[in-house]
Amino acid sequence: MPKDKTHDDSRARWEANADFWDARMGDESNFFHRQIVRPGTEALLDVQPGARILEIACGNGNFARRMAGRGAYVVACDYSEKLIAHARRRAVQEKNIRFAVCDATDERALLALGEGRPFDKAVANMALMDMSDIAPLFAALDRLLRPGGIFVCSLHHPCFVRPEGRYLSPFVHQGQAIIGQPVPQYYYHRPLSHVLGTAFAAGFALDGFAEVPDNQPEEPVICILRLRRRAEA
């Protein structure tokens, strides 16, 4: 399938924002990640020592280091070469993480991360809405995960974070993940039916779901999905 016309520019913008992003996230990530994203994601992911975990769109690698710190073996990828360089620099002592540059809209590139053994789990934090296409990712995960393996992903809650007031139709818009970043990034709005429909079509079932507010207690800004690969291959 041809890539969305914004795809290459989207990647270039993440390269332009990479140093700023790394400086703001540091070794411990920012308040939003620690307080809003991390608790629900970790509850659904349930990292166990010895687990093989694939992280998609890992940014500067903080969550990968956190999982490795709990005894998991992690393969973590991002399509920004600069962010992967930052991730490697921050994890120089870490033996249980392999970082790779990989575009998550490229199914073949994702499959090459597999090392000939299935992953128990996969995770993508705050990244699905940054991807120009999510079908290749789900198709690849169906082959990369073991039967019954899980994919946990946190994303902007599309019912509540939709700046143009539209919900049902997918659309592309621009915004800032962190105020003051050098250039705006692209966001790919998709209704929940689109995200879940893509996962269901690839053979996944939803078996965990969280909605997390930030400043407005009745308005979740993110949702976290746990999608389980079918038990039979």
Ligand X SMILES: C[S@@+](CC[C@H](N)C(=O)[O-])C[C@H]1O[C@@H](n2cnc3c(N)ncnc32)[C@H](O)[C@@H]1O
Residue numbers of the site for ligand X (CB under 6 A)? 14, 25, 33, 57-59, 78-80, 83, 103-105, 125-127, 130-131, 177
The CA dihedral of 134, 106, 30, 68, to the nearest 10 degrees, is 110
- The nearer residue to ligand X, 98 or 230, going by C-beta atoms, is 98
CA distance 94 to 71: 11
Q: Closest distance between ligand X and the C-beta of residue 198, in Å?
A: 14
Half-sphere exposure of 81 (CA within 13 A, CB side): 1
Least distance to ligand X, CB of residue 231, Å: 28
Helix residue ranges, H only, the chain: 7-25, 31, 38-45, 62-69, 81-90, 107-111, 135-144, 192-201
Count Cα atoms within 13 angstroms, Cβ side, for 33: 21
- Give the chain's end-to-end CA distance (angstroms, integer): 25
Residue identified by tokens 């659904």 is: 44
The residue among 212 and 230 lying less far from ligand X, judged by its C-beta, is 212
Q: Check residue 42 and give left, alpha or beta (phi > 0: left; psi -120 to 50: alpha).
A: alpha
Quote the CA–CA distance of 17 and 83 in Å, as a whole number.
Answer: 9
Q: Which residue is nearest to ligand X (CB)?
A: 59
Least Å distance, CB 232 to ligand X, is 29
Which residue's CB is nearer to ligand X, number 172 or number 205? 172
The minimum distance between CB 102 and ligand X, in angstroms, equals 6
Between CA 10 and CA 138 the distance in angstroms is 20
CB 13, min distance to ligand X, A: 9
| Closest distance to ligand X from the beta carbon of 117 (Å) | 22
Nearer to ligand X, 130 or 142 (CB): 130
Would you say 120 or 130 has its CB closer to ligand X? Answer: 130
Nearer to ligand X, 23 or 231 (CB): 23
